[in-house]
Amino acid sequence: MKGRKLLMIPGPIEFDPAVMEVMGAATTSHVAPEFIEIFGQALERMRQVWLASDGQPFAVAGSGTLAMDMAVANLIEPGDRALVINTGFFSDRMASILERYGAEVDHVRAPLGDRPSIEEVEAALRRANYKVMTITHVDTSTGVLADLESWAKLSCQWETLTIVDGVCSLAAEELRQQDWCVDVALTASQKAVGVPPGLALLVAGPRALEAFRRRRRPVANYYVDWNSWLPVMEAYEARQRAYFATPATNLVAALNVSLGQILAEGMEARFERHCRMSRAVKAAVSALGLDQVPARDDIAAHTLTAPCYPEGVDSGLLGHVKAAGVILAGGLHPDIKTEYFRIGHMGVTNFGDILATIGALEQGLMAAGYDFEPGAGLAAAQAFLLD
Ligand SMILES: *Cc1c(COP(=O)(O)O)cnc(C)c1O
């Protein structure tokens, strides 16, 4: 599409034309047989994408923050203890939500750009009897990837429920909800799931549902209460009509299309493709002489890259890159907001988009007066993509 810019931010991302077509189709009744079939299928597909055959999917109108709210509201009662493994902005948000529902929150922190070690997480779990531990799989503010498998498996030994904020990871980073002992994995439609903003998506495992059923007090939030949504999700999957609050019908239909595409690619192939795109972008950024926020390569996320502005360049760079056809995101973490920017590379993003992005970044750096060898970033990225 001439004149259209490539949207390479960590959500919303670029969406597939087949997904957008469904968004624009005539809206049906939420209890029309065609829609019941679509919603039922979307829920079944969520279970496959989450790799949680024993999980209960929920899809409601809202954003990722609502999915966080839903997880916490249904599992936390006042006075419960919660451990937040804090890797940045969205871990802080999770802590605020936990506190809003009356949890006593402790944090395990690491210096900005780093993540706690498994020993530090285990030591923290030893300190108190936590009902819930929360992990931000990819903290979008730092580009740091959690050691999710190791941390989540610990929570099984400690009988602590693990809530994973997978908003910037699910359907892109390796995440095996059932095998890794993750009790709730949540996301939003507009990131790697590949659907315009508007759906809060969550899969709850058996231990989470059991803890929910043992609650003593009612859920302190009307809209997200699983007592209201569980019968609705079960009904749609059984291809029966149900109503609590009107589902976002066009978004649900778009979700079904996108999940179908994700499963057609295959989860293993998808994880692998995101690793490769990430390596290409990170190699390009390094070849251009830019540092990154994550302290080490092996803890960097594969869904986004967080490069630091080089000496003498500031956020004006993003305007130059935009003029060259690609939209990138500025900094988000309050402590370093003006020192770095973010490149999202998830979902339908392909190798051509990666090269276009690095090309635009080089043009932007040139316009910003930065001294580098033109083409160095492109060559580094291409080397990984051709591999
Ligand atoms: C984007 C994001 C959120 C917030 O999602 P919204 O849809 O903006 O409410 C939460 N956590 C992470 C890790 C995110 O990347």
Query: pLDDT for 75-127, tens place per residue?
Result: 999 999 999 999 999 999 999 999 999 999 999 999 999 999 999 999 999 99
pLDDT at 1: 52
pLDDT at 159: 87
pLDDT at 295: 96
Is it the case that residue 2 has pLDDT exceeding 70?
Answer: no
Q: What is the mean pLDDT of residues 29-50?
A: 97
Q: Kindly state if the Cβ of 69 falls inside 6 Å of ligand 1.
A: no
Stronger pLDDT, 152 or 385, i.e. the higher one: 152
User: Can you tell me whether residue 96 is helix, strand or coil?
Assistant: helix
Q: Kindly state if the Cβ of 40 falls inside 6 Å of ligand 1.
A: no
* Extended beta strands in the chain, E state: 6-7, 56-61, 81-86, 104-109, 132-136, 138-139, 144-145, 161-165, 184-188, 199-204, 304-305, 326-327, 329-330, 341-344
Is it the case that residue 20 has pLDDT exceeding 80?
Answer: yes
Query: pLDDT for 186-243, tens place per residue?
Result: 999 999 999 999 999 999 999 999 999 999 999 999 999 999 999 999 999 999 999 9
60, 84, 92, 167: which to mutate for ligand 1, most atoms within 8 A of CB?
Answer: 167
From the list 365, 362, 360, 364, the residue with the least C-alpha distance to 377 is 362
Is it the case that residue 12 has pLDDT exceeding 70?
Answer: yes
pLDDT at 68: 98
Confidence of residue 4 (pLDDT cuts 50, 70, 90): confident
Cα distance between residue 1 and residue 17, in whole Å: 12
Is it the case that residue 180 has pLDDT exceeding 90?
Answer: yes
218 C-beta neighbours (distance < 10 Å), count: 10
- Token readout for 319 is 């305007």
pLDDT at 296: 96
For residues 248, 13, 319 and 65, what is the CA-based torsion angle, rounded to 10 degrees?
60
Q: Kindly state if the Cβ of 247 falls inside 6 Å of ligand 1.
A: no
Ligand 1 centroid – CA 168 distance (Å): 7
Strand 6-7 and strand 138-139: the pairing is unpaired
Cα distance between residue 282 and residue 279, in whole Å: 5
Cα distance between residue 172 and residue 166, in whole Å: 10
Q: Kindly state if the Cβ of 63 falls inside 6 Å of ligand 1.
A: yes
Q: Kindly state if the Cβ of 221 falls inside 6 Å of ligand 1.
A: no
Straight-line distance from the first to the last Cα atom of the chain, in angstroms, rounded to the nearest whole number: 29
Confidence of residue 28 (pLDDT cuts 50, 70, 90): very high
From the list 65, 94, 97, 306, the residue with the least C-alpha distance to 108 is 94
User: Whose CA is closest to atom 1 on ligand 1?
Assistant: 167
Q: What is the mean pLDDT of residues 124-136?
A: 96
Q: What is the mean pLDDT of residues 246-262?
A: 98
Ligand 1 nearest-atom number relative to CA 140: 15
Confidence of residue 382 (pLDDT cuts 50, 70, 90): very high
From the list 180, 179, 184, the residue with the least C-alpha distance to 212 is 184
